[in-house]
Structure 1
Amino acid sequence: MPTITGFSVPVGCALIPGGPVGEHQVPGSIKPGDTLLSVEHITDGATPTRVDRTSEFSIHATKGGVIENDTTNTTGDYLHVLWASNEG
């Protein structure tokens, strides 16, 4: 996982397809115990837009590679996920 110079822990990010409320697969090494830093809902268009949806998502408690959405259907759009690893 890449690190940012001067940042104390590895961080990861992924741009994934949106979907219905529920689980979303995230490529990379996101896992239980990591810290979810942000989830942005990206809507494509002539001028793409973003909405911060971090409070509606969590890292799955027992499965690696998964975040969970409790509220908003993002089907047809995209999600940008940023997290910090608990392995520093």
Structure 2
Amino acid sequence: MPTISGFSRPVGCALIPGGPVGEHEVPGALSPGDTLLSVEHITEGTPPTRVDRTAEFSITAGKAGVIENTTTDTTGDFLHVLWARSE
């Protein structure tokens, strides 16, 4: 996983398809205990737009590679997920 110069721990990010409220698989070694830094809902358009949905998501306890959305259906759009590894 890449690190940002000066940042004390590895970070990961992924652009994934949106979907209904519930669980979403995230590639890239996301694990329970990591810190979810942001989840942006990306909508295609001219230009594309983004909405911060971080407060609506959490890393699923006991399940690697999964975040859970509690509020908004993002079907047909995309999610940009950014997290910091627990070490």
State the TM-score, normalizing by the size of structure 1.
0.97
Counterpart for residue 31 of structure 1: 31
The residue aligned with 1:17 is 17
| Structure 2, gaps ≥5 residues long | none
Deviation sequence 1:29-64 (CA, Å, 0-9, x none)? 101000000000000011100000000000000100
State percent identity of aligned pairs: 79
Distance 1:46 1:84 in 2: 31
| Structure-1 residue corresponding to 2:57 | 57
* Partner AA of 1:18 in structure 2: G
Letter in 1 for 2:74: T
Q: Aligned letter for 2:78?
A: Y
Instruction: Report the count of equivalent residues.
Output: 87
Partner SS for 2:81: strand
How far 1:84 sits from its partner (Å)? Answer: 0.3
